[in-house]
Amino acid sequence: MPVTDISPARARELQQNGCLLIDVREPAEWAAGMAEGARPVSKSELESQACHHLESYGQAAILICAGGKRSDACAAELQRQGYTALYSVLGGTQAWIDAGLPVSPYSASDFDRRYARQMILPNVGREGQQKLSNSRVLIVGAGGLGSPCAFYLAAAGIGHITIVDDDLVDLSNLQRQILHKNSNIGQNKVNSAKSTLNDLNPTICIDIHKDRITTINISNYLNNIDLVIDATDNFNSRYAISDACARRGIPWVYGAVHRFEGQVSLFTASIPDGRGLCYRCLFPESVDGPDAPNCTEAGVMGVAPGLIGVLQASEAIKRILGIGQSLTGRLLHIDLLSMTTHDTQMQPDPECPICGSNGGAGAP
């Protein structure tokens, strides 16, 4: 199937209607100026890691290079990989400029300046920062845990963050849910979150969905995801996350708060790899119901989800970079009133209905 070539004017029209425009030239070429709003991703990177930049095989994307040849070749390669909605700009960036379409400056040092204090770390560096930029993280919940976690993941340069939440911003949220402001009351939390994070770091992609995670829809959000953050406030969604991640071998970071206390851990169960220890190994059945703790009735110190959310972000970054000692197999408990912490060592349950070695992978 031949690549669909389009004029710069048509490309601009599609871009303004929400289509992704990707500049596949090299950084030295970007420095001379780029089509306004284009995302800089070199041809070699896009061809080798398309899943980090395109959400699905059917996502529409326009490729642009200097004169049109590289974007044609890149689109052809991506088509070979299964991507189906690709366009290439005839004449490339030069034709874009000749048509009088807007161009924005690109400074190769923007990346360096933004992440300078992070890249100077000996176990991060430019290579590690690029890993973060190429990573895709799903955050389930934009409330007390999701707010600080999303803030720090966006600031750290996680390249693609998907946020799922079905709630609206309420005045009572603002004591702890720092993604939202007084002016956001009544808005969808995901819209408020996207606006805040785009202001913080406009170089990353924030994808939002107004939805509530269940066992039925969780799989819709796991394609091409490297790691999941559980920032929920209900057990049913948490079990759905744990079960689905175990079946696909996707790591996920657990967090929970109650009054002045919090817990955090990293679960890496993988049925494809024969590796156990999922959330059901600890809590085989949901405790949702009138006896389940919730912050509406029990209350919560605002800094408790702030602290746990930041720790979740830390675990996520460490996992993506492959550095440090993670909380896999350990449940970290923090009590803010006594300012004490303790670890609980966890072991896989061979009888676990999801990841157990004596059966497993069954229905919850």
What the block records as the tokens of 186 is 């009544």
pLDDT of residue 296: 61
Distance CA 269, CA 250 (A): 8
Residues in the chain where the model's pLDDT stays below 50 = 290-291, 363-364
Distance CA 139, CA 208 (A): 10
Compute, in degrees rounded to 10, the torsion defined by CA atoms 354, 256, 166, 224. -50
CATH class for the domain made up of 116-345: alpha beta
pLDDT tens-place string over residues 15-31: 999 999 999 998 778 87
Distance CA 294, CA 305 (A): 13
Distance CA 14, CA 89 (A): 11
**4-106 topology per CATH:** Oxidized Rhodanese; domain 1 (3.40.250)
pLDDT of residue 361: 60
Structure letter (DSSP) for residue 219: G
10 Å CB burial of residue 98 (0-12, 13-18, 19+) is exposed
pLDDT of residue 292: 53
pLDDT of residue 291: 47
pLDDT tens-place string over residues 242-271: 999 999 999 999 999 999 999 999 999 999
Helix residue ranges per DSSP H, the chain: 8-16, 27-30, 43-48, 69-81, 92-98, 109-114, 116-119, 125-134, 146-156, 189-200, 235-248, 279-282, 295-298, 303-321
Coil vs helix vs strand at 333: strand
**What is the model's pTM?**
0.72
Q: How far is CA 107 from CA 39, 93, 115, in A?
A: 13, 17, 14
Q: Which residues contact 197 (CB under 8 A, 6 or more apart)?
A: 150, 151, 154, 161, 179, 204, 206
Residues with active-site annotation: 295
pLDDT of residue 3: 84
CATH 3.40.250.10 in the chain, residues? 4-106
pLDDT of residue 363: 46
CATH 3.40.50.720 in the chain, residues? 116-345
